[in-house]
Each structure stands twice: as structure tokens, then as C-alpha cells.
Amino acid sequence: MKINLAGFIAFFKGINQFFTLGQKFQARYIDVYQLLSSDYVPSEVYARSTDIDRTIISAMTFYSGLYSDLSNTDHILAPVPIHTIPNENDFLFLLRFKCKRLDELQKITDNSKHIQTLLKKHHSLLSEVSIKTQIPISYYQAIYVFDTATIEKSYGLPIPSWITSEKSVEFDQLFVDYVLTQYGFINFKNESYPLNLQFELAKISCGSLIAEIVERLVLKIECLKNDTIECEPIKDQKLYTYSGHDITVVELFGGLGFKTFAYEKQTLPSFGATIILKLWEDERIINAVETENNRFEYYYVKIYYYQNSSVENPKYIGDLLEECQGQKGCPISYLIKRAEFLRPKPDLKSFCNEAVISKAPKVVYTHALKKCAQHAG
């Protein structure tokens, strides 16, 4: 029987990474903040994952680390259920989500002057990849080549000698610039389409994710002082996690309003990269008289980022957002506005079925686009 040792090495290395991340959460949120019980309480946590084996296993491993006995070196599985939905219906994994509108928008993006200029800048690199691999010149084909090489190198496996560190750095720069464009971080135009392409791409890539997160934060605030049956599970819940992909992390950066996702170096988020949103209650609420108009005024969110699973302490990044600077955290009001601005309407599936180019009379279509552009700021 032939055994793939590289696969075993990668599997166990990944398990150790997420188990370690879970232990770091244990140190912060069980030992220091005492937010969570030391033993698993089902009502306190909820785990959501894309329906992919590796993300499900990552979530299982993370929770095993979170509730691990530090005196025991064995990885004992924590009995935390990991919830999924079919990938074709899951906005957490857009690569599998069926969205005709996104396909159309990305074709427009690929043919834009902005992207063509970017590809021209790196033509010699893409040309060499084509020659070495005997495949047509293509950015998308080059992704698989360099992604495979990166993974193999991280596990100590040999890679082709022509894939030098300089070429990898250049491709990472191309990749990051391309993703920033495709996921709505960069404002660019295509003269053939009178659309705010940045806004259109952002609504699909991160609108549903940020909307769901903010809805959950708002519901938590409303249920803190509400004893209805519907609020019972929300009042007890203290941790909600998503186990996704590097692109999922990219999407959340975009949804929160960050200008980029590449802060430490020009690459996609690393294995174990984690964004944390912590909901805080201002001490001023003790003497405050809450009304319908100020009910969210006394709550804010602090945003932290683990660049990878080996980072000891997460980095506070909330102050990188202009709307959150000089404050204790990001006002809930900012996140609510951000979610409403990006939310695909009436829902993502319906929005995805709408054609980019309207069949309405030209004058009506132009007017609608102007309104959309104004709303997008």
C-alpha cells in the first residue's frame, strides 16, 4: 500500500496550528477575561463552517484546543457540533456559491483597463510560467502553480528550481493587487460600463457576511435586557465562530471597511489567520436612560487580528478604520450603516440572479446608475 507522507505531514501540522490557536483563546477568554466556562457549555458557543473537510476539521481542532487540559499533551476532541450549509448556498465560500452576477462582474473586471495594465506589468512572469508548465499564459493558471509551490515549500517538500523567492514575491504582489480589485477594495472604472464596479463587487463578496455578523451583534444587544423565549439562546451565547478560507478573511476585511487585507506582507491571509470582533458595553450605561434613539450608543466593538496561529497576542486593528479612531472601539452605529450599505437586496441569491446590464429603457437605466453611484459615495 502506497502512503502519502506529505499528506500526513500537512494534516498533522494543520491540526497543531489550530489546536494551538484554540489554546490561546483559552488563555484569553477562559483564564483572563473569564468570558467562557472552563468546561464546554453548549449554550455558550456556536460553530459555523463551510462544508469543506479541512475547514470542518480546523473548527473541531480549534475547539479541542479551547477546551483542552493543558496538563495533557494529547489532542482530545471537544464535543462541539460544527454547523454547515451546502456550499452552493453559502456566502462564506463564494468560490462555490452560484452567482451569475458575480461571474459577469468578474469578466468585466478582467477586461478592465486597470487589470489589463496590471497583467501587462507582470507579463514576463506569466510568460515564464507558461513556458515552464506548457500551459497558455493565464493569471488563473499561474495561481495554481504558485499556490501549490507555496504549500509544498511550507511542508519542506521540493519545488521546481525556476520558482525562485523573487518570482514568488512578484506573483504575491500580482495576486494581492488582483484580489483587492476583484473583491471591491479598489475604486476603478471600465469605460464600457457606467457602473460603480467597486461597490457592485463588494456587495456580493462581503455584503451578506458583514450583514449577518452585525445582525447578530444587534440581536445580542437587544436581548441583554429582554426576557422573551426568542432571546434565551442569544443571552447565553458568548462566542460565535466561522471557520472558512483565506478569501473569507479577505471578505470580512472588506466588509468592515478596511482598505487592504495585506498589512504585514503582500500575501493572502496565512493559515490560522483570525479576525476577532469583541462586543463591549460602555460603563456609562449604568447611569444612562436608554431610549429608542440612543440604545446602541453605549456599545462598541473592538477588532483584533491574529496574522497566523503562531502569533502570541492578536493585534488591535480597529484604529486603522477612520470611523473608529480616537475611540474605545468601533461604534455599533458605524457597523450598522456599513452592513446596510453593503447588504445585497432583497437577498444574495436574488441579487446574484440579476443581470449586470439591465434590459430597461436606457434613460431609466442611466438614472438608476446615478442613484447607485451617489449612494456608494
Are 310 and 283 within 8 A, CB to CB?
Answer: no
| Residue 157 domain-assigned (yes or no) | yes
Calpha distance 65→17 (Å, rounded): 10
Higher confidence at residue 296 or residue 160? 160
| Residue 218 domain-assigned (yes or no) | no
Are 105 and 198 within 8 A, CB to CB?
Answer: no
Give per-residue pLDDT as tens, 28-83.
999 999 999 999 999 999 999 999 999 999 999 999 999 998 766 666 788 999 99
- Grid cell 446590464 is found at 357
Q: What share of the chain in percent tops pLDDT 70?
A: 88
pLDDT band at 358 (very low <50, low <70, confident <90, very high): low
Give per-residue pLDDT as tens, 360-376.
433 333 333 333 333 33
Calpha distance 377→374 (Å, rounded): 5
| Residue 195 domain-assigned (yes or no) | no
| Residue 286 domain-assigned (yes or no) | no
| Residue 171 domain-assigned (yes or no) | yes
| CA-based nearest residue to 42, from 74, 78, 15, 69 | 78
Q: Could you give the residue ranges of the DSSP H alpha helices within the chain?
A: 5-25, 53-66, 100-110, 113-121, 123-133, 139-154, 165-182, 197-223, 232-236, 246-256, 332-342, 348-352, 362-376
pLDDT band at 298 (very low <50, low <70, confident <90, very high): confident
pLDDT band at 4 (very low <50, low <70, confident <90, very high): very low
| Residue 183 domain-assigned (yes or no) | yes
Question: Can you tell me the mean pLDDT for 194-200?
Answer: 87
Model pLDDT, residue 368: 36
Give per-residue pLDDT as tens, 234-280.
999 999 999 999 999 999 999 999 999 987 778 889 889 999 999 99
Domain extent for 131: 113-188
pLDDT band at 288 (very low <50, low <70, confident <90, very high): low
| Residue 198 domain-assigned (yes or no) | no
| Residue 373 domain-assigned (yes or no) | no
Q: Considering the chain, what is the average pLDDT of its residues? A: 87
Lowest mean pLDDT among 147-151, 249-253, 288-292: 288-292
Q: How many domains are there within the chain? A: 1
